[in-house]
Amino acid sequence: MSSILKKKAEKILAQADVKIDGDRPWDIVVNDERFYKRALLGGSLGLGESYMDGWWDVKELDAFFFKVLRARLNERVGSLREKIIFYGVKVLVNHQSKTRAFEVGERHYDIGNDLYQTMLDKRMTYTCGYWDKAKTLDEAQEHKLDLICRKLNLQKGQRVLDIGSGWGSFAKYAAKKYGVSVVGVTISKEQMVLARKLCDGLPVEFRLQDYRDIDEKFDHIVSVGMFEHVGYKNYRTYMKVAERCLKDGGLFLLHTIGSNKSVVATDPWIDKYIFPNGMLPSIKQISGAIENLFVVEDWHNFGADYDKTLMFWRANFIKHWPELKSEYSERFYRMWNYYLLSCAGSFRARENQLWQIVLSKNGVEGGYRAVR
């Protein structure tokens, strides 16, 4: 049976120019014959878990995933029964309801500030950098933050809402460089505690709060890397919250990873191990959610920059692993490595996008001038 499954795997992988036991960086080495059944029947989840268990290896995971996703092999493997059960549950249940909203904070963002402090840039910005003129990760993240501020046309004394404020990188930058006050909301206790320390003395407030409970007015709104946790059942609700909280004449900048197609669930492995209940929106889903609420002033795609950002994060993670491994297991190491490099390969293959969308309530008088 294993030989039959191996031949099937070889045939599928050949469509992406990937060989088993080949000598190229993207060729895989199988360490356990059980890999074939687990990957072929389990799809994404089986592939990821078998890597975590050491059943297969590859010199460059990012290159492997670039090849696989560019050839769309992810659409050709996995048990139909498992797919029906997984996606059926996602359709029937609102996995991003208020009762579940804090789960991703507890299981992902709260796993250890030490991990994120060593992996990220000096400001701890856990979203895509802007590499147009940047040479380092710190520069790319600063340029991204400044790009957001310029797109919003921030003015001294304005009050800004940051939905999904992370460790406070935007709030701190905007308060110091542009003289605004910021209210940041997050579903991560650890993020909130550290963000308050990092922004001490600035006109910045952080709250442990679900976005649906916000009901006050702001000059502008920004949301960077949070919309991926909202879920398709709640996109319209999210936009209604933003609309009611934005003053007339204000701007709302939405920074989100995007999908090339409309989906109702994320990748099963990512859902189980990295971002529980997450989901990537499509252009169609976003446009439907904002209809009759906002005018689209600008839609900027720099998704290819996420590949480079993720590769820098991974390099930092590897560099600092000796000081982290006493707190994290070897299986975590393989899981986190798989997460960062599979995502890098996905963005390189243009499977995912990164959008910055500028919205206004009634249209900017005289027109909005795009900032790059």
Task: Provide the annotated active-site residues.
Answer: 343
Question: Across-strand partners of 357?
Answer: 254, 299
Over the Cα atoms of the chain, what is R_g?
21
- Report the distance separating Cα 90 and Cα 266, nearest Å: 9
Asked if 55 contacts 30 with a C-beta cutoff of 8 angstroms, the reply is yes
Question: Across-strand partners of 360?
Answer: 251, 295
> Phi then psi for 282, rounded to 5 degrees?
-105, 170
Residues 6+ apart with CB under 8 A from 209: 185, 186, 187
Token pair belonging to 100: 């579940």
214-226: burial string, b at 16+ Cβ within 10 Å, e else: beeebbbbbbbbb
Token pair belonging to 256: 């989100």
Q: DSSP secondary-structure letter at 106?
A: I
Owner of token pair 């320390």: 197
| DSSP SS3 for 326 | coil
Asked if 205 contacts 232 with a C-beta cutoff of 8 angstroms, the reply is no
Q: In terms of residues, how long is the chain?
A: 372
